């Protein structure tokens, strides 16, 4: 689709920009993935601590937990 093509162009441009500013795009992506995993694991811990089930929460409730996790500094 055209949107998929455009998205691919954006990704390609970001990789080229990363190299231009001396950032290893693979390493940056790996760090971002690890940060997400750590945050999500903490989010799950907070939900369990509150005696809730993640699948029962609304998008808004999940977002509030996400904001809380980010405030913790993860």
Q: What digits encode the pLDDT tens for the residues 9-45? A: 999 999 999 999 999 999 999 999 999 999 999 999 9
Q: How far is CA 28 from each of CA 13, 16, 19, 31, 59, rounded to the nearest angstrom?
A: 15, 13, 11, 5, 27
Which residue in 17, 38, 8, 36 sits closest to 25, CA to CA? 17
Domain boundaries, the chain: 24-74
Cut 0.95: pTM above it? no
pLDDT-derived band at 73, boundaries 50, 70, 90: confident
């Amino acid at each position: 689709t055209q949107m998929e093509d455009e998205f691919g162009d954006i990704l390609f441009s970001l990789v080229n920009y990363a190299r231009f500013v001396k950032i290893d795009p693979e390493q940056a992506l790996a760090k971002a993935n690890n940060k997400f995993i750590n945050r999500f694991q903490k989010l799950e811990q907070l939900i369990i601590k509150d005696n809730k089930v993640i699948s029962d929460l609304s998008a808004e409730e999940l977002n509030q937990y996400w904001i809380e996790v980010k405030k913790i500094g993860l």
